Structure 1
Amino acid sequence: MTLELQGIGVSRGIAIGRAHILFHNQPDVREYLIPAFSIEQEVERLLDAIEQAKQQLKSIRNHIPANAPADVTSFIDTHILMLNDSSLTKVPVDMIRQRRCNAEWALQLQRDALINVFNEMDDPYLRTRRDDVDHVVNRIHRILADQEVADHEIADGRLKGHIIIAEDLTPADTVLMQHQGIAAFVTEHGGATSHTTILARSLGIPAIVGVESVRRYVQDNEPLIIDGEAGIMIAGADESTLKEYQQRRIAFDEHISSLSRYKSQPTRTRDGKTITLLANAELPEDITTISNAGAQGIGLYRTEFLYMNRLAPPEEEEQLAAYRDVVEGMNNQPVTIRTFDLGADKTVDGGRHLTQTVVTNPALGLRAIRLCLTQPAMFRTQLRAILRASAYGKIKIMFPMISTMHELLQARNLLEQCKLELDKEGMEYDRQVEIGAMIEIPASAVCAEMFARHVDFLSIGTNDLIQYTLAIDRIDDTVNYLYDPLHPAVLRLIHMTLEAGRKFNVPVSMCGEMAGDPRYTRLLLAMGLEHFSMHPNALLEIKQIINETDLSLLPANTLSIMEVSDALEADMLLEQINAPIIIKICLSFGFLIRTDKRILII
């Protein structure tokens, strides 16, 4: 009997293999009282477990192949840094001494406190960092319980070619199992922006998350088929289905291999329209990946990593060094640095909040540019560092979550003050540095013409724009089915912003996930988008679609998709828009391709 389960496809590719069900066997954590004379011994037991956890992670890091993407190592390093942080090394120790409780319980109480902080965060990417807290704490708990090293941490080849089925996976789990040659993984939990799914995309592992209770429906060693793009897992497939997916897997692998030829090609449609392809980045280590992908610059450089997991905000010199490394690494290609997109709920000082008010709805609270303007000293430090880094290469400055003209003018005024300070100090910087605003809430899209008069460029952040427009949380399993880039309200806001850019001759880019999704490339081209910024791993495929597109041959009714209220009808129209490129790819490999709604037989 064939069973098909649907989840969230987070890393593309077809995998066929046998299931390996992973159980972490988390210890049952209970509180008990420690005798006064054993308190320091209990403290030592906790610190020893933390040290063992660090050694385990360092061993994992040492097994990472030298040619692995830089962010692979950075994920493991993040967990090691967490094990050095006082929130795990000091706070639980204080609890043991004050409450005379056991190490497991003290650690669990601190884990719950940290998770509560992350759960209140409005930014989906940063909110999923709660998973890192869980992963690190769970590792310590297993050591405290004297559990043996998990099967997947024993590199004896037993997992080669298997499809991992788990409740959740840590980045360390993923690295180890990729090193052992797993074919794919499926988890019950997780989101599209978690560390583990980002890592899966970087490593090229087909992956599906959010398949509820999957371990109930799958037996160990059972043959499975995974479609990492469609988010489909098939068990008990018949011969014809198996043959179809075998063909698709071969075709997909050949297709990905063929993309390398586009790296050195210019990005230009068949009818001569030149398009700019940029990459998103959040760590200095991303530069190598971006360069290998052939990006024409960085369209979004997130700076939040500089502020997280530390006791105090970074000083000017530290920020200057980080920005200088990035801009010099890009060899005079443009780097767009977004000022810090933190919020009232995002901890940057080892536990204290930037404000002491209780936030009922942080997504609508003091965050991004709003916070920047209420913390002028911290904001000016960053602006000075970015300006000074502009002396070493082409830098653009972008302000996040602009909603009013007053915010934009305030931010620009602070920037001008920083320029005057640097002039007085004799500091070098680019006096013509370009300034831009992110369009990521409906108000800014509706007023895009107003903002276009006062900036050098605009950038559409579709992740937040879609969420705010449709009032949904895309990592909330109960409502993320409503997250729809093709919703007419979303498309109209994007089109409105592009029109404003054309009217005032201001470049408009898109740096949200929609820009790196091949399904929407031709539609965005038809709407007039000329500057795409995306995860570097998506860049070559987007370039192929652009280079194989003749804008004059797109369906005459392409833009009518903005008037379509029915989701199924919108999907069908999108398929018509994409049909020429889909058919071309299929013909080159001679296989049938199953789209989201139907099968095209080639």
Structure 2
Amino acid sequence: MPLPELHDAADAAAQTRGEIVVDGIGVSPGVAVGPVYLYAGGAYQADPQELGEDEIEAEAERFERAIARSERELGKIRLIARQKLGDGSAGIFDAQALILRDSQFYDRVHDFIRKRRMGAGWATQEVLDEHRQRLLASDSPLLRDRAGDFFDVQNRVLRNLQHGRAVSRIDKNRIVIAKNLTAADVLLFSRHGVLGVVLDHGGPTSHVSIMARALGVPTSVSLHGLAAQVNPGDEVIVDGFSGRVIVNPTDETREAYTEKQARFANLEATRDEVVAEPSETADGHHVSLQANVEFPQEFPLLHTFGAEGVGLFRTEMLFLTQGRALDEEQQFEVYRDAVAAAAPHAVTFRLLDLGGDKVLPMARREANPFLGWRGLRILLDKPEILRPQIRAILRAAAASGETDAPARLLLPMVSSLDEVRLTRAAIREVIAELEEAGVEHRSDIQVGIMVEVPAVALMADRFARVSDFFSIGTNDLTQFTLAVDRGNDLVAGRYRELHPAVLGLIAQTVEAAHARGIPVSVCGEMAADPRITPLLVGLGVDSLSASPAYLSLVKRVLRALTMDEARDLATRALRQPDADAVGRLLDYWLVCHNRDLAALLGADDAVRR
């Protein structure tokens, strides 16, 4: 059957099926409506092969040719990335290219070929599978997301060993649904007018999600089996805000989301104008909007979305993706590029926040890792990790100009005043060492702390005496305050960041900080939710740090409110009995002040209910 007829038949069959609604994780804002393109990218496999003595050299040469072809492919993909997204956007593919020649892969495969007489395909699969399985076995969703890079490299090399062709072609104007994709797939699909992406697997920090946000493709991930429930040509709706995916929508549903799509298109059409506007309330009160970043490939997004620097650089992700500690020079190069990309604004480098669900090989197995050996506790016990990172940050800070804001250093998982004093002493010692050695650095760096442990919020007045700024991590603060593990499906519904107890701790932290004249930022997921923006501003928060793609939406709300309105809203929110009541209050406020954004975020539906 010709392809058009096949799609027509699938469309007719879809009409006999009812509407299917599945909730995933929205990772790239926007709304897409269109027909399904089911993508089953080839997962190449290699069979065991034992080489004869006279076959070893030829097999090593075959492996080298496959590596060279893979490098050429990635070179073309990097070029496309730069054409579509600008210089600095190809970091994902630079990282994959580095894996190809990394001694942990390249040299080990050669050892397998020469010493074990193992075929190149089987050796490639064995070596990269080992790395990938280690990442997939992690408790950290952030680390599991990195496994996709190794799968992409493995698939690419195996395909080139088998002389296969790279295929990332789709019918135009389709929504791609797949079990998984690579960042390269999404980039190449974008050349064919992909409308949206839906994946069974993945998370918000995967390279696929990062690339989708950079390209502006509405995307939902973690749908767990949806790809097996849809047929080619089925009509589907992707809500990249909520993560909801609707298959075979009713006419009423389609009409509602088509309207929502048009609202977002209108907002996007004026995004550049919003980005150029000052980040302030309607009555002129400045609130800094900064970006959370994890990888160098996100640096170009700072300017695209008008971020006033980096409010949170999660440096641990550089370590986790490598599965090992990076040396001072490796860290310095990345940090220096971050300082240059953010200039004239500051970069806030959070020291390695390891432990909990972010585990390196040196970690110990613990019954309750979130309350165990993590964050600053690890760093103070491991000066061989702490001191090189401080050196790298101080050296990188020198890349900023004299009139640029100095870099900032953020201490993770603080729970006692002694931890802050000990870390500050280590910083002073490192500065003295750099000065004595004549190494260029910047010593006027500010030192702040994460406020994510309730004890710190309750003693904020005393912590303010030893800190230059506070950064409130609402994710951990919420789960510690409510005794709820947000990653546990059994209790995840009890994780309520709008709980009045959490809001009260935020208010207390801000009040204590301002009494000592130091600023407060919020860098948790609350900062990315435009519904919550008026509340945080009303509580007195000085800056919000979120994924770059959400900053223009947050700024729209910010510029629509006055400080009196925000303070009044915060006062009323603190009086509410529970998180649901606070949520209704925020939804009603947004409906009254920005109907387009309220409709996009579902606030208008909540108010009508």
TM-score where L is the length of structure 1: 0.85
Please say if residues 501 and 508 of structure 1, whose CA atoms lie closer than 8 Å, have aligned partners that are also in contact. yes
Please say if residues 20 and 162 of structure 1, whose CA atoms lie closer than 8 Å, have aligned partners that are also in contact. yes
Distance 1:62 1:559 in 2: 52
Distance 1:78 1:478 in 2: 37
Change (3 A) 1:476 1:40: farther
Q: 1:212 aligns with which of 205, 221, 224?
A: 224
**Is residue 521 of structure 2 the alignment partner of residue 521 of structure 1?**
no
Q: Kindly provide the CA deviation profile for residues 520-549 of structure 1, in whole angstroms up to 9, marking residues without a partner as x.
A: 111212222121122233222211211101
Find the counterpart in structure 2 of residue 508 from structure 1.
520
Q: Kindly provide the CA deviation profile for residues 89-131 of structure 1, in whole angstroms up to 9, marking residues without a partner as x.
A: 2234434555555444443433343234324656543442122
Q: Which moved more, 1:551-560 or 1:54-63?
A: 551-560
Find the counterpart in structure 1 of residue 327 from structure 2.
314
Distance 2:363 2:281 in 1: 52
CA drift at 1:159: 2.8
Distance 2:115 2:38 in 1: 41
Q: 1:433 aligns with which of 434, 445, 450?
A: 445
Question: Unaligned 5+ residue runs, structure 1?
Answer: 587-591
Find the counterpart in structure 2 of residue 84 from structure 1.
101
Please say if residues 352 and 375 of structure 2, whose CA atoms lie closer than 8 Å, have aligned partners that are also in contact. yes
Please say if residues 463 and 513 of structure 1, whose CA atoms lie closer than 8 Å, have aligned partners that are also in contact. yes
**Is residue 497 of structure 2 the alignment partner of residue 485 of structure 1?**
yes
CA drift at 1:222: 1.9
Distance 1:565 1:189 in 2: 37
Distance 1:567 1:312 in 2: 40
CA drift at 1:493: 3.6
Q: 2:208 aligns with which of 192, 196, 218?
A: 196
**Is residue 264 of structure 2 the alignment partner of residue 252 of structure 1?**
yes
Q: 1:75 aligns with which of 53, 73, 92?
A: 92
Find the counterpart in structure 1 of residue 166 from structure 2.
149
Change (3 A) 1:575 1:147: same
Find the counterpart in structure 2 of residue 398 from structure 1.
410
**Is residue 607 of structure 2 the alignment partner of residue 595 of structure 1?**
no
Q: Kindly provide the CA deviation profile for residues 253-308 of structure 1, in whole angstroms up to 9, marking residues without a partner as x.
A: 11122232233332222344321222233455644432343333322234346655
Find the counterpart in structure 1 of residue 390 from structure 2.
383
Distance 2:58 2:359 in 1: 32
CA drift at 1:27: 4.1
Change (3 A) 1:493 1:79: farther
Please say if residues 37 and 175 of structure 2, whose CA atoms lie closer than 8 Å, have aligned partners that are also in contact. yes
Change (3 A) 1:344 1:245: closer
Find the counterpart in structure 2 of residue 371 from structure 1.
378
Q: Kindly provide the CA deviation profile for residues 106-157 of structure 1, in whole angstroms up to 9, marking residues without a partner as x.
A: 434333432343246565434421222222223334444555433x2x4xxx
Q: Which amino acid aligns with 1:253?
A: A
Q: Kindly provide the CA deviation profile for residues 461-497 of structure 1, in whole angstroms up to 9, marking residues without a partner as x.
A: 2344445556666667777555542244543443332
Find the counterpart in structure 2 of residue 455 from structure 1.
467
Q: Which moved more, 1:65-74 or 1:517-526?
A: 65-74
Q: Match of 2:180, SS?
A: coil
Please say if residues 39 and 178 of structure 2, whose CA atoms lie closer than 8 Å, have aligned partners that are also in contact. yes
Find the counterpart in structure 1 of residue 236 from structure 2.
224
Q: Which amino acid aligns with 1:139?
A: R
**Is residue 28 of structure 2 the alignment partner of residue 11 of structure 1?**
yes
Please say if residues 28 and 241 of structure 2, whose CA atoms lie closer than 8 Å, have aligned partners that are also in contact. yes
Q: Kindly provide the CA deviation profile for residues 44-92 of structure 1, in whole angstroms up to 9, marking residues without a partner as x.
A: 4444434333332222223335241556411111111122222222234
Please say if residues 66 and 160 of structure 2, whose CA atoms lie closer than 8 Å, have aligned partners that are also in contact. yes
Find the counterpart in structure 1 of residue 12 from structure 2.
none
Distance 1:314 1:374 in 2: 18
CA drift at 1:186: 0.6
CA drift at 1:579: 2.6
**Is residue 245 of structure 2 the alignment partner of residue 233 of structure 1?**
yes
CA drift at 1:582: 3.0
Change (3 A) 1:491 1:347: closer
Please say if residues 39 and 176 of structure 2, whose CA atoms lie closer than 8 Å, have aligned partners that are also in contact. yes
Tell me the number of residue pairs that the alignment of Structure 1 and Structure 2 aligns.
585
Find the counterpart in structure 1 of residue 310 from structure 2.
298
Root-mean-square deviation (Å):
3.4
Distance 1:447 1:464 in 2: 17
Q: Kindly provide the CA deviation profile for residues 371-422 of structure 1, in whole angstroms up to 9, marking residues without a partner as x.
A: 3323324432332343344444422222222222222111100111123334
CA drift at 1:198: 1.7
Please say if residues 82 and 88 of structure 2, whose CA atoms lie closer than 8 Å, have aligned partners that are also in contact. no
Q: 2:194 aligns with which of 154, 164, 182?
A: 182
Distance 1:356 1:305 in 2: 15
Distance 1:288 1:64 in 2: 12
Q: Which moved more, 1:575-584 or 1:396-405?
A: 575-584
Change (3 A) 1:482 1:97: farther
Distance 2:346 2:58 in 1: 55
Distance 1:467 1:345 in 2: 14
CA drift at 1:363: 4.6
TM-score where L is the length of structure 2: 0.84
Please say if residues 61 and 76 of structure 1, whose CA atoms lie closer than 8 Å, have aligned partners that are also in contact. yes
Change (3 A) 1:595 1:488: same
Q: Which amino acid aligns with 2:552?
A: L
Distance 2:33 2:280 in 1: 36
Distance 1:68 1:172 in 2: 13
User: Residues 342-361 of structure 1 correspond to what in structure 2 (within 5 A)?
Assistant: 342=354, 353=361, 355=362
Q: Match of 1:233, SS?
A: strand
Please say if residues 414 and 456 of structure 2, whose CA atoms lie closer than 8 Å, have aligned partners that are also in contact. yes
Q: Which moved more, 1:273-282 or 1:28-37?
A: 28-37
Q: Which moved more, 1:484-493 or 1:562-571?
A: 562-571
Please say if residues 120 and 362 of structure 1, whose CA atoms lie closer than 8 Å, have aligned partners that are also in contact. no
Please say if residues 271 and 552 of structure 1, whose CA atoms lie closer than 8 Å, have aligned partners that are also in contact. no
Distance 1:376 1:182 in 2: 48
Q: Which moved more, 1:281-290 or 1:499-508?
A: 281-290
Find the counterpart in structure 2 of residue 589 from structure 1.
none
Change (3 A) 1:206 1:322: closer
Q: 1:498 aligns with which of 493, 496, 510?
A: 510
Distance 2:118 2:574 in 1: 60
Find the counterpart in structure 1 of residue 79 from structure 2.
62
Q: Which amino acid aligns with 1:571?
A: G
**Is residue 15 of structure 2 the alignment partner of residue 2 of structure 1?**
no
CA drift at 1:346: 7.2
Q: Match of 2:142, SS?
A: helix
CA drift at 1:178: 1.2
Q: Match of 2:292, SS?
A: strand
